[in-house]
Chain A
């Protein structure tokens, strides 16, 4: 089955700096890669996703890049703000199979 590794497990960045979270996946057939943000005590919510036919996708301060050859994808958050503090999860899925989540990254933005 699919295995998704996520690094780092914790990340602290100064407000205004950029944050990068990386994930690798094992199943080369995986074709859908979403990122979820989970604030303390809240539900995970989708912030951006990318499909395997695209190398990069951007939405304001958030971008995701995908390297299919290396089987890794990354989340980039620029100009970080205190409200970006949360746990971020990557995930991968092949076709109609289950969504496999990474182990999460606790991002802390230091004011």
Chain B
């Protein structure tokens, strides 16, 4: 009965590879997000989708491409992975009024 779930929890991959992280929410929320948390714990928004429509794209390299097949899912595909992409990526969702955001458990991406 997890509210926001993302997979995988851990991802170790080599530079140059392409990988995807999946996210699903069962809260009936209209808005979903991807956040990146670096080694200093800074939480920065990457993307926001509202009912499958891209709302926010925060100067993220175009190697990162979010995809929302429906309002309950927001996946993140990353091409040509770089060392600097290593971080914890959190998916989150909220109601349309963007009040409380519920976070997934995070995906720790390590690029070697």
Contacts and interface: CB of A to CB of B under 8 A. Distances in A.
Interface of A: 32, 34, 38, 42-46, 49, 87, 89, 93, 96-101, 103-104, 106
26 contacts: A32-B99, A34-B101, A38-B41, A42-B105, A43-B90, A43-B104, A43-B106, A44-B43, A44-B103, A45-B103, A46-B102, A49-B99, A49-B100, A96-B96, A96-B97, A97-B98, A98-B56, A99-B45, A99-B101, A101-B42, A101-B44, A103-B40, A103-B42, A104-B41, A104-B43, A106-B41
A100 B44 CA distance: 8
Contacts, number: 46
Interface of B: 40-45, 48, 56, 58, 90, 96-106
Given A43-B103, A43-B106, A98-B48, A104 B42 contact: yes
Contact of A99 (B42, B96, B98): B98
Q: Is the interface of A mostly helix, strand, loop or mixed?
A: strand
Contacts of B106: 42-43
B31 to A, nearest CB: 9
A43 B103 CA distance: 6
A98 B56 CA distance: 8
